[in-house]
Amino acid sequence: MTQVYFVTGTDTNVGKTWATIALMQHFKNKNQSVIGMKPVASGCEKINGEWQNSDALAIQKMGSLFVDYSLLNPYAYELPISPHLAGKENPANLEIIFTNFKTLQNLTDVLIIEGAGGWYTPLNESETIEDLAKKLNVPIILVVSIKLGCINHALLTLQAIKNANLNCIGWIAVCNDANFDCIDLTIESLKSRLSISLLGISPYSTTYNPLIEFTFESD
């Protein structure tokens, strides 16, 4: 049976893609086939006549097998703004995303799905990332950017996930603030306050770092 995880974050630009790619590498190292999916992406450039997102392309490249871009990223918007604004002419349809999700799920041992922005980021005029997560109904992994304010953001996001009656199985610490000098103490504070397991820590890097050691209960 395919393992599926939905990667969400405390905000935008917190390292969700970095975490997604590292998770994909983790499962590849266990000799499992893995595919990534980024259903909605804002901030794209036109490549070979279609809008494509650099994060989605990185996820596509990390996959164990080639998957058509439009299957893993059906909604690619030019402007780097909230999807409900960037996609006014072609709003995200959760039914189409779900169909693509089921197709990808049947192709691989592990499927990692990356959300967009934070938990309540609007995808269209009436639905958010939370609605997408409910539709998919798979385990959630929370990405926390280790920086000033992250404890509050992490606690609020986890509570929102719990309020949605979804299963958040753990969190990943991404150290992407080069000027933050309280990393270890902040991570320890989060560990003591979050009621979910710390799965892994991504140290500061200026490029994608897939070499993170993760600890899952199933490992």
Query: How far from 66 is each of 41, 71, 77, 118, CA to CA, in Å?
Result: 19, 11, 22, 28
- Tell me, yes or no, if 46 is annotated catalytic: no
36 touches 17 (CB < 8 A): no
| Among 203, 112, 108, 196, CA closest to 155 | 196
Cα distances (Å, whole numbers) of residue 109 to 75, 113, 147, 216: 24, 13, 34, 16
Q: Please identify which of the residues 16, 30, 38, 134 carries the catalytic annotation.
A: 38
Going by their DSSP bridges, the two strands 45-47 and 50-52 should be labelled as antiparallel
| Pairing of β 3-9 and β 140-145 | parallel
* Bridge partner residues of 142 (DSSP): 8, 171
Does residue 56 contact residue 69 with C-beta atoms inside 8 Å?
yes
Instruction: Just list the catalytic residues.
Output: 38
